[in-house]
Structure 1
């Protein structure tokens, strides 16, 4: 009876601790989302690295892929992997400069491919994840709080997501996404600027411009 009681108490306290950790993680994520979402706009430059130990690909084997995104409300202008993504709030324009092709679709980028895009940083966590506070580390004088997000869907292409948050500024510093195939994709925010002044044309697609350049528009 004593062993059963100890086991029950252990399970109970573990459950309470996990619940408290989950609540703290959710509260911090909401605070980050609210703060960053309140800016008039944001301009972020980031780098992306990929590793897969099972496939012999280690982080640092290849130079990082660099990108930049400017966000204002639901609108954004993203330079990534040699392509430009412009979302004007209604339509998404994907401009492939190498192939001189432009694809136009209704609505924003989906997550059907199991990938978290930089434009989804402030909202992706709100559905489909359980949360847990991770380690608090010191990085060059900055306190970085990690949060683990585990997909509720056991069939998800994503196995785990880790968000690294600057404990002082409440800004996202890094996102680490682990896929079902063992690959680990890391996005690191290198520069962050908010409430900048720029032309609203940055979120508009200039069809005449690309027609003159003989782009194929689909």
Structure 2
């Protein structure tokens, strides 16, 4: 009898583990499907304009900072305004404009470099290098926000995990919560998300004449 009970117990354990495995796989598939929908939606727009809030918090270091910014994107080109600095990427070079120092830094960016971080990549960074799974579904101000947990595959990555909040109805990113291994938490929340807006022909072109007294620092 004991032998039969032990066999049944082991069978139930194996079955339970198998069901957990199937459930986890289904969750991962659901998460990946949702991320693919977000990517497809982002790529369907001619241009995107985002106003956002950025928060940095570390309880141990007593750090709590909030900043606002905005970014205009078209394909891989962008204009980013954040913390008093403007960055313009025209598809080949990045122009970093710092009014406080009256300086413009010019550098070449290799868009094929996986380590090159750009605003356009921030909307699709989750496609590679992460294990993804469905997290909580929350009701935020009347909007259904589904969170997807992203865990970096690279063990050297200083980020413990990332929670990506996705508006179920629009398939737009609502916010991104990044938790570091040392306790730092950064949150980027999208305040407004506009698409296919009329843009100036010079939207992504650096015009030197606008900065006559600035020092132009060419890195390459």
User: TM-score of the superposition, structure 1-length normalised?
Assistant: 0.89
Displacement over 4 Å in runs of 4+: 108-113
Contact 1:87 1:108 in 2 (8 A): no
* Structure 1 CA distance for aligned equivalents of residues 62 and 217 of structure 2: 40
Q: Corresponding residue for 2:19?
A: 13
> Of the two, which has the highest radius of gyration?
2
Provide the rounded CA distance (Å) in 2 between the counterparts of 1:87 and 1:138: 36
Question: In structure 2, the residue corresponding to 1:199 is in which secondary structure?
Answer: coil
Q: Work out whether residues 92 and 108 of structure 1, in 8 Å CA contact, stay in contact via their aligned partners in 2.
A: no
Note the aligned Cα RMSD (angstroms): 1.9
Whether contact under 8 Å (1:69, 1:119) holds in the other structure is no
In the alignment, structure 2 segments of 5+ residues that lack a partner are: 1-6
User: How far off is 1:80 after superposition?
Assistant: 1.1
1:49 and 2:55 matched: yes
Query: 3-state DSSP class of the match of 2:160?
Result: strand
Matches within 5 A, 1:14-163: 14-57=20-63, 61-62=64-65, 64-107=66-109, 118-163=119-164
SS in 1 for 2:46: coil
The answer to whether the Cα contact below 8 Å between 2:75 and 2:120 also exists between their aligned partners in 1 is no
- Give the 3 Å change call, closer, same or farther, for CA 39–78 of structure 1 in structure 2: same
Report deviation, 1:53: 2.7
The alignment's TM-score, normalised by the length of structure 2, stands at 0.89
Q: 1:126 to 1:27 in 2, by over 3 A?
A: same
CA deviations on 1:109-162 (whole Å, 9 max, x unpaired) are 87759xx76442322111100100111111121111111001011111211111
Q: Distance in 2 between matches of 1:128 and 1:14?
A: 24
| Residues 176 and 186, structure 1, Cα contact 8 Å, conserved in 2 | yes
Aligned residue for 2:171, secondary structure, equals: coil
On the 8 A contact 2:106/2:216 being kept in 1, the answer is no
How many pairs align? Answer: 211
Give the unaligned 5+ runs of structure 1: none
CA contact (8 A) 2:78 2:119 kept: no
**Which residue pairs with 1:196 in the alignment?**
197
